[in-house]
Chains A and B, each alone.
Chain A
Amino acid sequence: MTEKPAEKTEVKLEIGRFGKFLQDNGIKSKRQSDSNNVETIVIDAKDLEPAMRLLKTSSETTLNFLLCVSGVDYADKIDSVYHLWSYEHNDALVIKVELPKNNMTNTQTPCMSSISNFWPAANWHERETYDLVGIRYLKHPYLRRILNPWDWEGHPLRRDYKQLIDALNDKNPHSFR
């Protein structure tokens, strides 16, 4: 359950097209190795909202198709991953925001700002990520659990998640059956 993905060797990567665009507008980003020839950048949590606004509306980029927001739990950090496409052209971008864990327990949640105020597509995806991975998106209009019941405890896609009540297991004293 707790094994790490293989360590990637750190190579200094050249700044990509979208990284350059963000740098010109005063937003720092770090390039990661590409997956399937799609530029992957890591940016700070506080820079996410202005960066997304720029990438969505600027005529240079028009990345106006937010495919999904996914949370990935690693051993020492939780990633919030944004896959961006465009309805007009063929470019793509993956943005990652790394949130340190600092010995967080399963019920504690790291915080970052939400983008669903100006991008409605993110609304349900952020709720889903909050529900399953436990990233608290601040200023989200309606941050409730979406797939699990409202009274569910813990976040199932955390690597240290343990089911509190095993409703289907008869040997469990807390079983419903």
Chain B
Amino acid sequence: MATELTTTNLKTDEMIINMGPQHPATHGVLRLILKLDGEIVRHVEPVIGHLHRAQEWQGQNRTLFQYQALIDRVDYLSGMFTSLAFAHACEQIDGCEVPPRAQYLRALVCEMNRISSHLLWLGTFLIDLGALFGFPFYPFREREKLLDLFEEIAGQRMMFNYIRIGGVIRDPKPTWFEKVRKFTQEFPDRIDEYEAIVTQNPIVLKRTKDVGILDKQVAFDYGVSGPSLRGSGVNYDLRKVRPYGIYPDLNFDVPLGQNKGDTWDRYMCRILEMRQSNELIKQCLDKMPEGEILGKKQIAGLRIKAGEGFSAIESPRGVLGCYVISNGSDKAYRIKWRNPSFCNLAVLPSLLIGRPISDIMAIFGSIDVILPDVDR
């Protein structure tokens, strides 16, 4: 007897698919084990660790001076921030003074680095959404200028080793400040350019509006931080909440998501944050004091006092923490990194379940995870 075939009594099996680790849109090597029901994601298990470089192990087996050069690799898109977190933790333990000029230079280079990190995110996010028409190279044009500026002060384009315990290593020439000022003058126009292409683009709106809504309570439970959290409307920026360095002296707003915390909100937060960073750079340039730049001698046998220090700063991806235990020798006893990407990635399964497979990359791109930062 022929049974009637309708869509209602068709039995479909769940399918298990591996996404990655060599998937081009996973920003490195993330493996997602997906359980699919047709196109709908039913279960996700992220598998990480493919880029594990034992940064913490190296921290306790290298001298502090050697390790300072390695920490930019923890998160290679925002090397200044990882250096800053480590320097803050060591300065807490040691109690050494950081000269005001170094404080301002730190804030200046960090905000520049925030812009360059967000620019790379903007390009790759658009690729994730399928915009392969060449837009990604617009943000890279400005990022290139920033990397040139970094090269001039640090000698390297991405692994800076510029912020050291007690200050910064090199004092830029006056011409460098002029170049930075020129960049800040033309940069807002460039953001307008990106926004003209992307922000109200119907395809982008369709792919991002109401996609991957991050509930406040879920974000709190998973310890999400950074623009991904602020996209959900939570005003939590360490530069305001627990100010460090010279941020109390600077004026800026914290952009928040205006909607319900979907992918588009997180996109908008980062765009507005770049504008704020540009303002911060201008203020740093205006207020830049003269004087010393290094409060501690940079020698191969660099030592700090014994003790414990925990520092946390607002990196482009969220709260970047560094927990250092020192026993007074030239090596740290224990270094622990609290990486924002690691914590933000843990929330991914709860955002993906119930969504079609085509949303995976839009959601994953919008929480701005960088895999070396996850795996360290």
Contact = CB atoms under 8 A, between A and B. Distances in A.
Contacts of A67: 223, 312, 319, 321, 338
Interface residues of B, number: 40
Interface string A88-130: 0010001000000000000000000000000111011000100
B48 A156 contact: no
Given A83-B338, A121-B221, A121-B222, A147 B346 contact: no
A15 interface: no
Contact of B221 (A35, A119, A132, A156): A119
A70 interface: yes
A143 interface: no
Given A35-B307, A83-B321, A6 B346 contact: no
Which interface class (under 10, 10 to 19, 20 to 34, 35 or more) fits A? 20 to 34
Given A35-B92, A67-B338, A83 B323 contact: yes
B375 A147 contact: yes
Interface string A37-66: 010000000000000000000000000111
Interface in B295-328: 306-310, 312, 319, 321, 323, 325-328
B333 interface: yes
A22 interface: no
B336 interface: yes
A119 B52 CA distance: 25
25 contacts: A3-B327, A3-B329, A5-B306, A5-B326, A5-B327, A5-B328, A64-B220, A65-B220, A67-B223, A72-B333, A81-B323, A87-B236, A121-B222, A121-B343, A124-B343, A128-B342, A132-B56, A132-B57, A146-B49, A147-B52, A147-B375, A147-B376, A148-B52, A157-B57, A157-B334
Interface of B: 48-49, 52, 54, 56-57, 60, 92-93, 220-223, 234, 236, 241-242, 306-310, 312, 319, 321, 323, 325-329, 333-334, 336, 338, 342-343, 346, 375-376
